[in-house]
Structure 1
Amino acid sequence: MLTNGRCPKTALSIKDALEALEGRWKLLILFSLSGGSKRFKQISREVPGITDKTLSKELKNLESNKLITRNVYDTFPPTVEYTITDHGRSLENVLEGLHYWGLKHRAMVIEE
């Protein structure tokens, strides 16, 4: 549990986490991939509203943060699949917590 102390290391670790997950799409992409490996268009369908350009950029960023891997298969045309890494899977409790918090938030604030 975090304390209210002003520990610079705590602030730095939160900053690092927020930078790795910043933006409106990364957590939704990780949620999509938590169900197993997917191709680009599958992810695109499961994350409504994201453009192909943005999805491509976010996938590259998630890969550089070692949260997903990009697997290219030697087929014609080439097949590319994205898979969540063990490091990315470590966020499953965070995603689940956000899911339940979002349900409560919607019931309390948005649907009133």
Structure 2
Amino acid sequence: MSKKKLQQPVAKCTLQEILGVIGGKWSMSIIYALFTGKKRFSELERLIPNISTRMLVKELKNMEANGIVVRKVFATVPPTVEYTLTTKGEKLEPIINELYKWGVEYVG
């Protein structure tokens, strides 16, 4: 009996890349919070229950590196930092809203 070699679908690699960008535990919550507009770091901390400061920093850096959010620093004392979605990030809104609807129907 010969074994058939399974080919990896190209889509699987793409899905893994997508999850690397928005698949963090807190990523979708952060993106969802930014749908309504720019937010300061402290606002994001308040809007997302149970997220640690360390995790919020890590997720924001990842999303900034992947072009999902823009970080703007103001020269004030103490420094003020605001985050907004890029055009690329804004395009996630219908997708995340559909995932939310699916979750309400089948998970919650």
How high is the TM-score relative to the length of structure 1?
A: 0.84
Partner residue, 1:82: 83
Structure 1: which 5+ runs fail to align? 1-5
Tell me how far 1:81 sits from its aligned partner.
0.2
Structure 2: which 5+ runs fail to align? 1-6
Where does 1:49-64 land on structure 2 (aligned, <5 Å)?
Answer: 49-64=50-65
Counterparts of 1:67 and 1:104, CA distance in 2:
27
Partner residue, 1:47: 48
Counterparts of 2:8 and 2:95, CA distance in 1:
22
Q: Counterpart of 2:36 in 1: which secondary structure?
A: coil
The percent identity for this pair of structures is 37
Counterparts of 2:86 and 2:21, CA distance in 1:
14
Count of aligned positions: 102
Counterparts of 2:62 and 2:47, CA distance in 1:
19
How high is the TM-score relative to the length of structure 2?
A: 0.87
Q: Which runs of 4+ in 1 moved over 2 A?
A: 6-9
CA-based RMSD of the aligned residues comes to: 1.4
1:96 aligns with 2:97: yes
Partner residue, 2:9: 8
Which deviations, in whole Å up to 9, do the C-alpha atoms of 1:73-110 show, x marking residues without a partner?
1222221100111001111111110110111024xxx5
Which deviations, in whole Å up to 9, do the C-alpha atoms of 1:11-66 show, x marking residues without a partner?
22111101111221000000001110001110011110100111111111110111
